Structure 1
Amino acid sequence: MPKDKLLDIPLTTIEIFCQIYVKKNAIEVASHLELSQPKVSRALAALRSVFDDPLFIRRESQFQATEKAHNLYPIFREMMECSQAVDHLMKGGSGGAENTVEIATVPQLEINLTQSIKQAAMPVADSEIIVSTTPWGETTSQQLINDELDAAICFQRSSHRAILSKSIIQHRGGYLVARSDHPIWRDPCIDNMIDYPLVKLITMPFPANKSPIGNYAKQVGKQMQIYATAPDLGSAANSLLNSDAIIIIGVKGAVDFLRNINGLKAQKIDHVQDQSILKNFSHPTVYLWLKLDTRGKVTTPFWLQRCLEDYIIKAHQ
């Protein structure tokens, strides 16, 4: 690959590549970056020419990265993070860590969050920081504006002007979780799933906390029963172990947590059936909420922003 070609690649094109790698959908990337679809397509075409590789191959409704794209992503992401760090410092941002950090989050994205933040803070903190989490909810916006929180992770965009809602990643397929000896495993199709009660987490990644599988049950003339609404994954696991209830989760990190509990089993739902469940629902998006000051500048330290974004992405892989 000629060096002069590589030097001609602007950071905006690299950012488009990183967003396509994460979101797997050019339309979503264009919307997220507030660009036209032709500009996104031209950027991708330019990269394909430079690296003599398709980089992303369309499979059904999403892009799948090639081996070359997988190898490029860590390098390009590091370039974007360095650029953002320089920009943050140029604007007078502080790189140091505070003594305490508090994050509001949904239960699906709480596993290992505090440990991830503590580890990320080690290079920038003078001493070990205290990290705590609180459930995301109706009061989260005001808490963030009042500086009672450092950031929030959730499934919906904030409408408040003082909060930046960063779209980080979309779920790409749900997982069925139930007891290891549950009869559903004989034939785990959705028409059998709706015969069993459902465990819901208190915060669902769908509008008005609706359940897509519950909606599917209504469409075929059945009423799916709710066994329990769990405040956290531990409570959900307890309900699953002591009943014939099932749960469907889209965050891989949460699935792995449940899968590792003795007596529970998890399995990815077949793509065709997953699409049937999600009919009339869009793929859930995970948002990172950050507070803006009066000048429109993000107040959250850059190291923490980077940590939370990495954590969210890794939780889906």
Structure 2
Amino acid sequence: MKKLSNISISTIEIFCQLYLKGSTKVVANDLCLSQPKVSRAISALREVFDDPLFIRKNNQLIATELAHHLHISLSEILTCSRSIEEDAIRKVSSAEPPIVIGTVPQLEIGLAQEIVNDAINHQLNRNIAISTTAWSELSEQQLIDGEIEAAICFKPSTRKELLSKSIIQHRGGYLVARSHHPIWDDPSIDNMINYPIVKLATMPFPANKSPIGVYAASQGKPMQVYATAPDLGSAASSLVNSEAVMIVGVKAAVDFLASISGIKAKKVDYSQDRAILKGFSYPTVYLWLKRAPDGKVISPMWLQKTLEAYIIKSHK
């Protein structure tokens, strides 16, 4: 004899339908099954309970005494199964679509958690899905196509479908290098250009130029690029394992790098910073948001404010 646990929910459903309708043909039609499949399901139950369950009389299948008792329990199992299935469907259908933000690496640290916290503060779904993706030249189209919800970057957008908001300017850079780097004996720009530089893949300057690299070239000492890092983690690894230096303008990114064992950061002296930025404008952070055809921004106001606040906080 087989165990009841070997019997599927679909077999139990066939039993309950047959109990009510008394015809394998009607049950097969109602459940979109073949008659042989209905018959096999009942045969499986007969083997489990060692009972015919249904006896044919006048072209009608009549339930046995055991089948009468079983129907009460099996119909409860079927009801529970349907309830669980409906709950699962409701949860899936009510799940909010993920929010994806395109961002430069300097402004990625803690961004997803900041959005989650603010969503909770606005009594939204606690399980809201947030993720970030690297900003690139494709981000404008991704935002227009709805692949991302917003973008944080260092250049304005000219696309009419997007709102491009200037949020804040960097005001001073930080020198970052390994803790025991000789640069700390003399952290002047004329000494910095004696060492290779680590660049991030997205720089806040036209054509991704490095101001210190331009300064070095003007002094007849072109700087070597040790690495172009896609993110802050990769940049930190390069700094720890080399004589390279790095200049970063976003305070949150600086704090992240300085928190890593073996790395030190220090604000560049004002006069030195101005010399580095000679010929460059102060870098500006922009927030891109998608517009509706009528010109209104599509993103919810709470998310706009969260992103703006996050950008400003990251510079303090």
In the superposition, the TM-score normalised over structure 2's length comes to 0.69
- Over the aligned positions, Cα root-mean-square deviation in angstroms equals 1.0
One-letter amino acid matched to 2:104: V
Any residues of structure 2 matched to 1:1-317 within 5 Å, and which?
Answer: 98-122=96-120, 123-317=122-316
Matched with 1:80 is none
One-letter amino acid matched to 1:154: C
In the TM superposition, residue 138 of structure 1 has moved relative to its aligned partner by 1.3
Distance in 2, matches of 1:213 and 1:159, equals 29
**Which string of whole-angstrom CA distances, capped at 9 and with x for unpartnered residues, describes residues 88-112 of structure 1?**
xxxxxxxxx9442100000000000
Distance in 2, matches of 1:190 and 1:205, equals 19
Please give the secondary structure, in 1, of the residue aligned with 2:304: helix
In the TM superposition, residue 126 of structure 1 has moved relative to its aligned partner by 3.2
Question: Could you tell me whether the CA contact under 8 Å between 2:116 and 2:126 is conserved in 1?
Answer: no
Distance in 1, matches of 2:278 and 2:219, equals 13
Distance in 2, matches of 1:228 and 1:172, equals 25
Please give the secondary structure, in 1, of the residue aligned with 2:164: strand
Distance in 2, matches of 1:209 and 1:295, equals 34
In the TM superposition, residue 291 of structure 1 has moved relative to its aligned partner by 0.4
Distance in 2, matches of 1:165 and 1:250, equals 21
Question: Could you tell me whether the CA contact under 8 Å between 2:290 and 2:298 is conserved in 1?
Answer: yes
Matched with 1:17 is none
Question: Could you tell me whether the CA contact under 8 Å between 1:98 and 1:125 is conserved in 2?
Answer: no
Distance in 2, matches of 1:193 and 1:205, equals 20
Please give the secondary structure, in 2, of the residue aligned with 1:169: strand
**Which string of whole-angstrom CA distances, capped at 9 and with x for unpartnered residues, describes residues 106-162 of structure 1?**
000000000000000012313420001000001100010011111000000001111
Distance in 2, matches of 1:303 and 1:293, equals 17
Q: Percent identity?
A: 64
Distance in 1, matches of 2:210 and 2:173, equals 12
**Which string of whole-angstrom CA distances, capped at 9 and with x for unpartnered residues, describes residues 11-41 of structure 1?**
xxxxxxxxxxxxxxxxxxxxxxxxxxxxxxx
Question: Could you tell me whether the CA contact under 8 Å between 1:99 and 1:128 is conserved in 2?
Answer: no
One-letter amino acid matched to 1:106: V
Distance in 2, matches of 1:299 and 1:124, equals 20
Distance in 2, matches of 1:188 and 1:138, equals 34
**Which string of whole-angstrom CA distances, capped at 9 and with x for unpartnered residues, describes residues 42-63 of structure 1?**
xxxxxxxxxxxxxxxxxxxxxx
**Which string of whole-angstrom CA distances, capped at 9 and with x for unpartnered residues, describes residues 167-192 of structure 1?**
00000000000000000000100000
In the superposition, the TM-score normalised over structure 1's length comes to 0.69
Question: Could you tell me whether the CA contact under 8 Å between 1:107 and 1:233 is conserved in 2?
Answer: yes
One-letter amino acid matched to 1:148: E
One-letter amino acid matched to 2:235: A
Distance in 1, matches of 2:136 and 2:182, equals 35
Distance in 1, matches of 2:137 and 2:247, equals 24
Count of residue pairs brought into register by the alignment? 221
Distance in 1, matches of 2:237 and 2:296, equals 43
Please give the secondary structure, in 2, of the residue aligned with 1:235: helix
Question: Could you tell me whether the CA contact under 8 Å between 1:107 and 1:231 is conserved in 2?
Answer: yes
In the TM superposition, residue 287 of structure 1 has moved relative to its aligned partner by 0.2
Consecutive unaligned residues of structure 1, counting only runs of 5 or more, are 1-96
